[in-house]
Amino acid sequence: MTNHYLKSLVFKNLTNHGSKWTVLFIDLFQVGVSFMLAYFIRFNLSFDFDVQMLWSQLPVIVLFFLVAFIISGSYKGVVRHTGIKDVYAIFNSVCLASIGVIVFVLANRYMGLLDNFTIPLSIIIINSLLAFVALTASRFVFKVCFEQLMMNNQTPVKNIMIYGAGESGIITYNTLVNHSKIKVKVVGFVDNSLQKVGKHINGVKVFDKAKLTPDFVHFNNISEIIFSIQNINPKKFRSLVNEVVELPVKVKIVPPVEDWINGELKISQIKNVQIEDLLDRPPIEIKNSKVSRDFEGQVIMVTGGAGSIGSELVRQICRYRYQTLIVIDQAESALYDLQQELRQSGFHNFIPIVGDIRDKNKMRVLFEEHKPNRIFHAAAYKHVPLMECNPYEAVKINVAGTKTLVDLAVDYKVEKFIFVSTDKAVNPTNVMGATKRIAEIYISCRQQEGRTNFITTRFGNVLGSNGSVIPLFRKQIEKGGPLTVTHKDITRYFMTIPEASQLVLEAGAMGKGGEIFIFDMGESVKIMDLAKNMIRLSGLKFPEDINIKITGLRPGEKLFEELLANGENTLPTYHEKIMISKVRETDYVNIRAMIDELCVSNLFFKENIVQLMKSIVPEYISRNSDFCKFDKKEELLSKKENKVIITK
């Protein structure tokens, strides 16, 4: 036990940074030895020189080098992490000391500061070369010895390939091999440049990408491939990653330089390639945004502010110069987490409120107290299968809750009300989608009064949001599978949470009232392909390591999603990714009366609720649900005959 403790203590001391004063002392000792060797070399390895003169000159040499080391700071570097910059510092200090000695000798020759004191120029030059070599070599020898000592540790070896032999790849290599607690071996670099292929960097060979075959990976026992390429086109990056995801390795990526901590890459920043990185569409970027001007000095309210979309809306709004930000959510823990996150990020001008949007009295008090100018309404129940079983709750939150906020917005003359809707509201086939469509219709009804500008945004699935398919797949992969897909041909539109939130803010800024904004989400993604890619990105094989199980469509679930309802068309905006839906005419008086009835009635029976919803939304035709019995055959035929036309 005592021996084990002593070994641990010794190893701990060795891994700690050595004292800079110890390094300085050793450097000065090496300078002294180099000076003596310079004399031996100058006089053909003999003692045919005045030894007494050497001893008198040595303190002067050491003194000048001491001053040069202190000025350059070459002794302050961590020896076991010696790199090119440390070599530069040593070179500068040697040059500075040598020039200082030469100047001193010449000054002494003409001014006679020290009697009979001189140093031959050849000795000074030889000493400079020897000192530089000794100081540099000693550091690298120590570095190699330290690495060998680390290799004897019991941490398992991990063989890695770095994709990219440029500056970023070299920095990644240095970060990996210099990390004391991770035992890795970089087998090689991969690069597409023929000028680099076949050469060596730090003793590591650069391979052509054609070498990355299953046999090569197996022979070299490679477990990870790290992409370290800066300023690469997203489409090109997806192409490169798709070439290696079939290999039995984990695929990781180095973040952009601007995201490095204090300009230095940390091991913790090298992350697994996410499925978001492989979506076959360019990331959405907004330039010349109107949001900044729209938020200037405004009181902004966000409902559902602790949810996936709501919390990202809050994060993005915090970057603007608003007056006050009110964040409402009934999820206490999630709201607390968001509050702590914002405070740690330096944002303090916001008010977190635990509340339920169905509580009209509480909401009225908030409107009276804060008088918001902008409202982003993201609070909703969104899980299709759950809402199919609980239509009463879906109506109370998604319809009645929205109605409460809309009515208060009109009463308190809120300038803009932005409603976050969903593509499931288009030709709805489930309770959740129907409730969101009813909320859209009610907003259109109140827009006719012209007191508040109501704006609706409509988009598809959001990657990584609570309850979405990707977090589900990740959990299933962690448990060893299988991954569950409801249908082999099912497809969905996807965008990232920041993209969706950014587009909502932009649509809110450009909206004049009465618009339904829909977002161009690119091509729809086949969920089966998504599942296979996630398995591959985890370094596993389908179906050998993890299989995919087809479970069948859930109640109310569509095979394909739509962004426009029957009879709708689109108009362009100044942003190519945002379009305005031209909504067909509606009998607002009768529709509003039915919505009022839906919200105030105590319809606890599912059938009664759904029947009334189908009256409000005639295109609501259930799929794979108990409520299919309420759909007429004529409606079903009409539904099949209609086609959705999206004009881009």
Please give the distance of CA 370 from its chain centroid, rounded to a whole number. 34
* 227 in Cβ contact with 161 (< 8 Å): no
pLDDT of residue 395: 93
User: Residue 271: its pLDDT value, please?
Assistant: 82
Please give the pLDDT value at position 602: 60
- C-beta neighbour count of 239 within 10 angstroms: 11
pLDDT of 584 reads 62
- pLDDT one-digit tens code per residue, 559-608: 776 655 554 566 777 677 778 876 666 777 888 888 888 887 766 677 88
Residues of the chain with pLDDT under 70: 1-18, 78-81, 112-113, 115, 147-156, 179-182, 262-263, 276-288, 464-467, 521-522, 561-570, 574, 582-585, 602-604, 632-648
From 252, 396, 424, 577, active-site residue: 424
The pLDDT mean for the chain works out to 82
* pLDDT value of position 559: 78
DSSP at 261: B
Percent share of the chain, pLDDT over 70 = 84
| Beta-sheet strands, E only, within 450-496 | 453-458, 461-463, 483-485, 491-492, 494-496
pTM: 0.65
Report the alpha-carbon angle 517-520-524, nearest 5.
Answer: 130
- The two counts, helices (H) then strands (E), for the chain are 22, 22
Q: Would you call 372 helix, strand, or coil by DSSP?
A: coil
Confidence at residue 17, expressed as pLDDT on a 0 to 100 scale: 45
Cα–Cα dist 32/131, whole Å: 9
CA–CA distance, 551 with 554 (Å, rounded to integer): 8
Cα 63 from Cα 31, distance rounded (Å): 10
Give the SS3 label for residue 585.
coil
Give the long-range contacts of residues 614-620, CB within 8 A, separation 24 or more: 614/434, 616/438, 616/441, 616/591, 617/428, 617/434, 617/437, 617/438, 617/441, 619/427, 619/428, 619/565, 619/566, 620/427, 620/428, 620/429, 620/433, 620/434, 620/437
pLDDT the model gives residue 566: 52
What digits encode the pLDDT tens for the residues 19-35?
778 888 888 898 889 98
d(CA 454, CA 465): 25
Q: Which residues pair with 222 in a beta bridge?
A: 159
Distance of CA 118 to the CA centre of its chain: 64
Phi, psi of 283 (to 5 degrees): -65, 145
Would residue 639 show up in a list of annotated catalytic residues for this protein? no
> Residue 343 has which token pair?
């405070």
Q: Which domains does the chain have, with CATH numbers?
A: 16-151 (no CATH), 158-273 (3.40.50.720), 291-461+495-521+562-641 (3.40.50.720)
Residue for token pair 């069948």: 552
